[in-house]
Amino acid sequence: MDKFFQNLNKVRSSVSSSKQVEADGLLTYLDVLLTKNETGIETTVYRKNTHTGLYNKWESLSPLQYKKVPYEACYIVPTKFAAHTN
């Protein structure tokens, strides 16, 4: 598996891939915590220890594109993901 990632990372220097190994039935992937149990796999939102929960206020002078990101990450993406897992 290490050889695979070494070769994958040689394809384009601007993109690098990494891997995570399951530990105690838990695996994080793209802000999702995958938990393996007797009946299958459960998914929940995963926040890193460094997550502050701070976002730009909607009334701030930041560009609109930056204000949309937290909304999309918290509401739109999980909704689409959940729709595909049923």
Going residue by residue through the chain, which has 86 residues, state the pLDDT in tens, using 9 for 90 and above. 678 878 888 888 887 777 778 888 898 877 888 999 889 888 888 877 776 766 667 788 878 777 777 667 666 666 665 555 55
pLDDT the model gives residue 84? 56
What does the DSSP assignment read for 35-65? EEETTEEEEEE---TT-------TTSSS-HH
Nearest in space to 18 (alpha carbons), one of 30, 36, 26, 32: 30
